[in-house]
């Protein structure tokens, strides 16, 4: 008989992540910064030849544990993010594409952090469908993408390009801009995030620790960025892609991606490729500036020393490598993501070579703050605490892809130097990244005895791990349900599921029903005494409200 999991993580219980006591001596705040479509192999931290300028990220890396081989659980926005927040693989939670919703009773790391006493706050993109919170106590912005079933994939018509798919315009129209939809969005997310930190510090010492997720939409295509960042690369001779493969020589999945992304009829000129990459580089520098601003606010508010800083992303971007753009494949520039964790008082800066996944973040966060994974609740991720402590840890990553561009489940196993890729409708692939970092030689048919043994072991492991027929049937069933429901929801009066941000300006800034002197005193930080001298606030002194005038009389 299966026992019923307790409703809350029991205090002191030895959970699946293996922690029995908090891993840090005090309750730290958490700042989790995400970038969208940021490829780790393109950044200077992981590529000495990188042309991308990221001084703030490079400086943060000096005080961080750097993960040299971090991967996403799925090379597509929503499935990757749903796996990141839940610690479960996409097939376990039905997160198949960019219009898949996960159940509201699926635990996320925000649920665990709230049980641990954290105020969980989200600013920016998370690509939730339906439920727009999934454990977050506060959401500071709406999402940039729709929260409905409008972007559902249709495997019943695999040759049909849906109107919302990626297309060649991002490359053909690449260049500088004064403003864009994505700049509007990230600027709003940054303003809300920094304002939250300013409001937080004015609460005083009795405030709960915060877990703030700031999720930026750059450097995601379209490849355009404002002049300031475009001009940073004026004198840079942008590198061309290092791997060129003719379209007719590409693997079956890459050929499908050429069609899905509207690339098959174009041979982009070097000028077009360099403009697209230059805009992407500029967008990376924009993200770097955002990181710098967030860290500056932490410093100015004297929060930095007691804040765990995590930086990662949802997937990468091929940027013309192998003739591919965007993501949706298991080649390194698409599936490998940046991962830094900075908290020097507990984790000595060093580099980790083992393979890890953003899927591992929920279990790791639980270890960090001393809360326990509840036995009986599913968790595919592993805690990265051994890696943070400089010890050997898990070295295996699983990834799944069931979105556009494939017509059957496409799976990856990454272990040691090996990358194994399997799909029921495609020939398998096996790469040794130690000897073949550009993934040019498929070893799946190698006659080398050691390689053949390794390949056969991966084949057996994949067959045991995944029920491909059952997953395929579930993908088809879910797609058909969503198409039917979405068609009905568009008929007659339409009701959006998109998040609406609460914003009551009647109780902001200065209003007649507020005490002006008291308002100004409480809004100022650092706190000063009667004569303007900085004053130290402790639990024995005045507690300051969440925001100046926020509660009225």
Catalytically active residues are 77, 127
180 sits in the region (left: phi over 0; alpha: psi -120 to 50; else beta) called beta
Q: Burial level of 526, CB count in 10 A (0-12/13-18/19+)?
A: middle
Bridge-based pairing state of the strands 356-357 and 210-215? unpaired
DSSP per residue, 294-348:
HHHHHHHTT-GGGEEEEEEES----TTGGG--SSSS-SHHHHB--EEEE-TTTS-
Bridge-based pairing state of the strands 410-415 and 396-401? antiparallel
Tokens 């996944």 found at:
357
Bridge-based pairing state of the strands 210-215 and 119-124? parallel
- C-alpha 245/C-alpha 6 separation (Å) is 54
List, in sequence order, every beta strand (DSSP E) within 40-191: 65-67, 70-71, 119-124, 138-139, 175-177
The sign of the dihedral angle between the CA atoms of 96, 99, 105, 107 is positive
Residue 332's nearest CA partner among 302, 360, 355 is 355
Tokens for 332, please give them.
Answer: 């390194």
- C-alpha 468/C-alpha 411 separation (Å) is 10
SS3 of the chain: helix, strand, coil, percent, to 5: 35, 15, 55
- C-alpha 531/C-alpha 536 separation (Å) is 14
Polymer length of the chain: 553
Distances (CA, A) of 21 to 15, 25, 26, 371, 384: 11, 10, 11, 8, 16
Q: Where would I find the H helices in 4-122?
A: 55-61, 77-86, 90-93, 109-115
Residue 549's nearest CA partner among 137, 191, 189, 199 is 199
Tokens for 118, please give them.
Answer: 């954290």
- C-alpha 33/C-alpha 331 separation (Å) is 24
328, 257 in Cβ contact below 8 A?
yes
């Amino acid at each position: 008989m299966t026992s019923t999991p307790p409703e809350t993580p029991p205090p002191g219980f030895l959970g699946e992540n293996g922690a029995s006591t908090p891993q840090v001596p005090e309750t730290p705040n958490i700042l989790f910064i995400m970038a969208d479509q940021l490829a780790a192999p393109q950044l200077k931290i992981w590529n000495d030849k990188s042309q991308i300028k990221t001084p703030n990220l490079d400086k943060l890396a000096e005080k961080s544990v750097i993960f040299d081989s971090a991967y996403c659980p799925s090379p597509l926005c929503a499935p990757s993010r749903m796996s990141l927040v839940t610690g479960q693989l996409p097939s376990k939670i039905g997160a198949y594409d960019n219009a898949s919703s996960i159940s509201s009773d699926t635990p996320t790391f925000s649920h665990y952090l709230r049980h641990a006493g954290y105020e969980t706050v989200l600013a920016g993109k998370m690509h939730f469908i339906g439920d727009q919170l999934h454990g977050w106590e506060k959401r500071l912005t709406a999402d940039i993408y729709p929260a409905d079933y409008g972007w559902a994939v249709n495997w019943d018509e695999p040759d049909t390009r849906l109107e919302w798919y990626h297309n060649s315009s991002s490359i053909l129209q690449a260049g500088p801009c004064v403003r864009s939809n994505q700049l509007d969005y990230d600027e709003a997310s940054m303003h809300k995030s920094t304002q939250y930190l300013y409001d937080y510090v004015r609460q005083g010492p009795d405030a709960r620790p915060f877990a703030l997720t700031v999720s930026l939409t750059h450097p995601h295509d379209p490849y355009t960025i404002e002049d300031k960042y475009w001009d940073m690369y004026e004198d840079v001779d942008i590198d061309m892609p290092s791997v060129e493969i003719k379209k007719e020589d590409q693997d079956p999945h890459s050929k499908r991606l050429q069609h899905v992304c509207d690339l098959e009829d174009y041979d982009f000129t070097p000028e077009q490729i360099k403009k697209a990459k230059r805009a992407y580089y500029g967008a990376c520098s924009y993200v770097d500036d955002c990181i710098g601003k967030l860290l500056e606010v932490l410093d100015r508010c004297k929060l930095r020393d007691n804040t765990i800083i995590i930086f990662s992303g949802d997937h990468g971007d091929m940027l013309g490598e192998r003739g591919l753009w965007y993501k949706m494949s298991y080649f390194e520039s698409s599936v490998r993501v940046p991962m830094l964790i900075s908290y020097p008082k507990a984790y000595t800066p060093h580099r980790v070579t083992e393979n890890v996944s953003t899927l591992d973040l929920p279990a790791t966060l639980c270890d960090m703050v001393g809360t326990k994974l509840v036995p009986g609740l599913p968790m595919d991720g592993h805690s990265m605490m051994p890696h943070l402590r400089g010890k050997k840890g898990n070295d295996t990553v699983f990834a799944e892809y069931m979105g556009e561009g494939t017509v059957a489940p496409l799976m990856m196993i990454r272990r040691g130097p090996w990358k194994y890729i399997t799909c029921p409708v495609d020939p398998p692939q096996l790469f040794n990244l130690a000897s073949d970092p550009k993934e040019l030689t498929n070893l799946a048919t190698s006659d080398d005895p050691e390689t053949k043994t390794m390949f056969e072991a991966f084949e057996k492991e994949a067959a045991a791990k995944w029920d491909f027929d059952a997953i395929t049937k579930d993908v088809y069933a879910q797609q058909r349900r969503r198409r039917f429901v979405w068609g009905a929801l568009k008929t007659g009066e339409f009701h959006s599921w998109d998040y609406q941000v609460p914003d009551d300006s009647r109780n902001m800034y200065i209003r007649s029903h507020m005490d002006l002197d008291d308002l100004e005193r409480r809004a100022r930080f650092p706190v000063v005494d009667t004569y303007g001298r900085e004053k130290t606030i402790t639990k024995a002194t005045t507690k300051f409200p969440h925001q100046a005038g926020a509660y009225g009389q």
